[in-house]
Amino acid sequence: MLLILNVIFVLVAIAMIALILMQRGAGAQAGSGFGGGASATVFGARGSSSFLTKATKWLAVAFFLITFYMAWEATHGARLADVAANDLGVMAEVPAASQGAPSGSAPATPGLSATP
């Protein structure tokens, strides 16, 4: 399921990039008021802004919904993994290190004398 969602996520991102790059900038409409030839476009006098804008909007909504779902799924899975990590099973029965050794002294190495 997550693999299919990742593929859809990448396809939506690529489609969004393509649609955004196909749209005109804000400065493109300023020249069309003085006879820039906008009426001779393929999509009509208004241009392709309505279709491209609506398609970009819905792709952005899908992109963010998929992103939020994937983030929720990752945090939900992390919580379940933390619970499993805290359950040590057999290792929980292993006693802690012995407290009998003094903390300041190191064990003596055989074969070495303390005086030279």
Tens-level pLDDT at each residue, the chain (116 residues) = 789 999 999 999 999 999 999 887 766 655 555 655 555 555 555 555 688 889 999 999 999 999 999 999 988 877 765 565 666 667 667 666 666 555 556 666 666 666 66
Rounded Cα distance, 18 and 43, in Å: 17
What is the distance in angstroms between the CA of the first residue and the CA of the last residue of the chain?
71
Closest among 12, 17, 22, 20 to 43, alpha carbons compared: 22
Q: With contact defined as beta carbons under 8 Å apart, do 73 and 4 qualify?
A: no
Q: Give the tokens for residue 72.
A: 């929720």
Domain ranges in the chain are 51-86
pTM for this prediction = 0.52
Q: Distances from the Cα of 15 to the Cαs of 8, 63, 64, 81, in angstroms?
A: 10, 10, 14, 35
Q: Any residues with CB less than 8 A from the CB of 48 and at least 6 apart, and which? A: 22, 23, 41, 42
What number of CA atoms fall less than 13 Å from residue 83's CA on the CB side? 5
